[in-house]
Structures are given as structure tokens and as C-alpha cells.
Amino acid sequence: MMARSASSARQNTLERVHLVGIGGAGMSGIARILLDRGMAVSGSDAKDSSTLMTLRAQGARVAVGQDAANLELLDGDPTAVVVSSAIKPDNPELAAAVSRGLTVLHRSEALAALMEGHRVACVAGTHGKTSTTSMLTVALQHCRLDPSFAIGGDLNESGANAHHGAGGIFVAEADESDGSFLAFTPSVAVVTNVEADHLDHHGTIEAYNAVFESFVDRLADGGVLVACVDDPGSAALALLAESRGVRVRRYGRAAADVTLTSYEPADGGGVATFLLDGAPVEMKVAVPGEHMALNALGAVIAGLSLGAPLAGLLEGIAGFGGVRRRFEFKGLAGGVRVYDDYAHHPTEVAAQLRAVRPAAQGGKVVVIFQPHLYSRTRMFAGEFGKALALADEVVVLDVYGAREQPEPGVTGRLIAEAVPLPAARVRFEPSFEKVPALVAGLVEEGDLVLTMGAGDVTMLGAELIAELDRRVRV
């Protein structure tokens, strides 16, 4: 589908760029950096959004709906048309660009072109990459290094997912879901974990693991791999990298170069201690959960590998306000706190629910979970059930299919029936509209509700708060 290779992408000036699906997390980030650099930007998306409004305010010409005529939004033909893996060959704008002989770049190729001339730090992994990338970015900002960055979520500090910085460092979240991170050549690569996922694209666990092995081969000469060896997949990758002559820095709870020795919840976050070159270092983490402390440790080691000072990095981690949709506080009503989280893999769900328990302060933890993708639901229903059992009450929605077509017999009920809790504490509710009233009837003052999943479940937080407020007023 691509008209030119990644090497050609780096030679492309990106003077006038049209992005198909400009409102997506990755595409909007590229658009923001292009606009910051003074490039002419146009784009289209299926529906209007606050993201499109922001891009228009920055100077982009954006159309709602996709049509070949949108390629004319700029003065003259675009020098590049950028698409993601979600854009199919029959998309009218992509088809028109190909027929006219315009340069078509995958999103990753465009991002690789923007990285040129920078020292690049990429964060990859099945889980935790958005949080770790965000922590590294904020930590480097506290070191006054002003990195450019492109992240799959909006930083709470700035509300942005991308920025063109004046410093010589570029930090990027590296997406393994379609193998597109193989376009990058990082100086520092962080791998948080390697656990089977996205098999709808990769097909087998072996193929999924292989793409991480290829990612390690993309490291620049003299580059370093920062690997969390608590995860077997990442630990195996570290051994493979060393066998290929790559410098590796391991972190984790044991058998690591940088070892996490303790973690205690505190003030809505936590305090961790780790050993660095044999000396104990205390690190305050503003977001809750030991898994977040490990993400922070990976970010600190990456920052040190880039030459940043330890004191500044620790200051940034302590001040990190989180990422939208990562245990994001949505509001309080009727004494019930409501949060939202993006977790959509069993390991992520379990880690977040363990982190939530101290924050509940003795109240019930009620989770509203929306499965993401039919293939993931079918393959991991049992694992999701075990993870969700860490909550006190569970409401499972139907599957958010995203890019997939429905599969016969694959619904949220598969997961609900796999939760090893008493039946009265687990409910499958396929009707989105009924959920706010259902959950409002389950909770009482002091409880904590967490909406969870990668789909539109995030909308339910505000609706639940409104329902709780209504009940208080009655």
C-alpha cells in the first residue's frame, strides 16, 4: 500500500501533509508536530471532535467525512498523504492519492521522518508503554531538556499527546500492534513487557515475539535496551539482545541492574526505593500502583541513558500527574468516586485493580468493564474473568468491536461467566443505557467505581455521576 519506503520517508520534506483519520491519537500527534514546525497540514476524519477543533485552531484545514476532494484542502497537491493501518485501500482519499501518484506514507514512516536529527527514545511493550513514555517525557521536561514527544494518550499536565521541543531528544511510544515500530531507529529502547496480544494481526505468539526481536535490531549503533526482567518475555528479549552485542540495562524486583527493593502506597500514589549502582534511592510516584513504580523506574533508567541528571528525573516522576484514561478521576457524587481507565488486557486489568484497592479506603470497588475486540475476548475470556475477580462488584458490557466484525457466540457474557465471584456480584449488561442506573443501585457512600476498557465505556463515567447526583437530590 505504501508508495515509498521508510528511507524515502526520511528524505521527504513533509511541507504540505494530508492526514487521513487526523483525529486519531497517533495521527493527531503527528499533525501537532507538523504544525509546530510550520508545515501546511490538512486532514479528514469520520466525525467531528474536540481534537479536530484544537487542530483547526492551530491552523490545520480539516474536513469531516472522507472524500477524494479533501486532498484539495491545501494550496497545491500534498507532498505526502499519511495513513494508519486502520485506513483500508478502498478509502476514497487513499485511493485517489495512489491513482494520482502522490507520496503515501504510513503513520510510522511520517513519525520516523520527524525524528530525524534527534536522539530517539522509544518505549514499547504489551502494557504500560503510554504511562512509561509519558513519565519519561515529563521527567525530561523537569530536567529542562524540552523533548519532542509523541504519545498515545494526552498528558494531564499539558492536555497534549505531542509536542515539538527545542531540545535534541525525541520520545515516542512505539506501537507493536501492527509492527509499525520497526520504522524507528532509537538510541534508547524501553521494553516494559512482551505478552501475547494483537494476534488478530500477528497470528501467533511466536510472530508477536519475533517483531520485538526485530525491534531490538533497529537500535542505533551504541544504543541501549532498557528491559523489565520481571516479565519473562522482556527478560528473554534482554538475553537475546546481549547475544547480539546490544548493551542492556535491566530493571525489576530482582536479578536486575537497577532493583526495586520496596514500594508503599502513599498520598494517592506511592514511595519506592531502588538500588542504583548499589546505592539506595527513594522515588516518589504520584500515580498509584507498584506496576506504575516499575514504569517510573524504566523511565528513570532511560533518562539516565540519555544523559539526564537523576535529581531532575526524580523530580519529574514525583510531579507526574498521569495520563488521561489511566486511572483518571472523573468526579465525586453521593460520596462515590468515579475513575476511568484504558486497561483492555487481562494483565493490565489485574494490575490496575490491585492498585485501586488501597485507594478505595475500605469501600467497595465496582468495575464496569467493556471488552475490546472479539478476537481478544475469545482468546482471553478466562484470564479476564480471573482479573476482574479482584473487584467487589463486576458489570461486563458487550464487546467493542473496533476494527473487527462480530463473531458468532462471542459476547461480553463469555467474560462475565468466567468471573469466579458469586453470581449476584457479576452482571452482564449489553444495554449501554441501563448501566448508570444499574451501577447507581449497587454503590453507597465511600465506594469507588472504575470504568475500564479501550472503547466508548469512557462515556459512562459522566452518565453515572449524573445519575448519582439525581438520586441525591430526590
Look up the CATH number of the domain holding residue 84.
Answer: 3.40.50.720
157 and 206 inside one domain: yes
**Coil, strand or helix at 241:** helix
Spell out, as residue ranges, where the chain has pLDDT lower than 70. 1-12, 153-159, 196-203, 322-325, 474
Rounded to an integer, what distance in angstroms lies between the CA atom of residue 201 and that of residue 207?
Answer: 10
Chosen domain end from 319, 350, 385: 319
Q: What integer pLDDT is reported at residue 196 of this predicted model?
A: 62
Entry field: residues in the chain: 474
Domain check: are 68 and 163 in the same one? no
Torsion angle, CA of 216/217/218/221, rounded to 10 degrees? Answer: 100
Same-domain pairing of 133 and 210: yes
Q: How many domains, the chain?
A: 3
Examine the domain organization and report whether 104 and 125 are in the same domain. Answer: no
For the chain, helix, strand, coil in percent to 5 are 40, 25, 40
Catalytic residue, chosen from 93, 109, 173, 328, is 173
pLDDT at 154: 59
CATH number at residue 393: 3.90.190.20
Same domain? For 304 and 162 the reply is yes
Would residue 1 count as lying in a domain? no
**What is the percentage of the chain residues whose pLDDT exceeds 70?**
93
Q: Is residue 228 part of a domain?
A: yes
130 labelled catalytic: yes
If asked whether residues 177 and 289 sit together in one domain, one would say yes
Beta bridge partners of 82: 19, 105
Final residue of a structural domain among 319, 348, 366: 319
What integer pLDDT is reported at residue 153 of this predicted model?
59
Angle between helices 25-36 and 50-58 (to 10 degrees): 10
Range of the domain at 174: 117-319
DSSP, collapsed to helix, strand or coil, labels residue 144 as: coil
| Marked catalytic residue, from 130, 192, 377, 458 | 130
Instruction: Report the pLDDT value the prediction gives residue 49, as an integer from 0 to 100.
Output: 87
Query: Within this chain, do residues 409 and 445 fall inside the same structural domain, yes or no?
Result: yes
213 and 306 share one domain: yes
Question: Residue 2 in 3-state DSSP?
Answer: coil
Same domain, residue pair 126 and 93: no
Q: Is 103 a catalytic residue?
A: no
Do both 130 and 274 map to the same domain? yes
Query: Which residue is catalytic, options 51, 109, 129, 377?
Result: 129
Reply yes or no on whether 93 is catalytic. no
How many Å apart are CA 472 and CA 466, to the nearest integer? 10
Same domain, 455 and 469: yes
Quick one: angle between helices 25-36 and 107-115, nearest 10?
40
Q: Which of 111, 137, 170 is the last residue of a domain?
A: 111
Residue whose entry in the numeric block shows the C-alpha cell 497534549: 160
Q: Is residue 374 part of a domain?
A: yes
How does DSSP classify residue 220? P
Do 179 and 266 belong together in one domain? yes
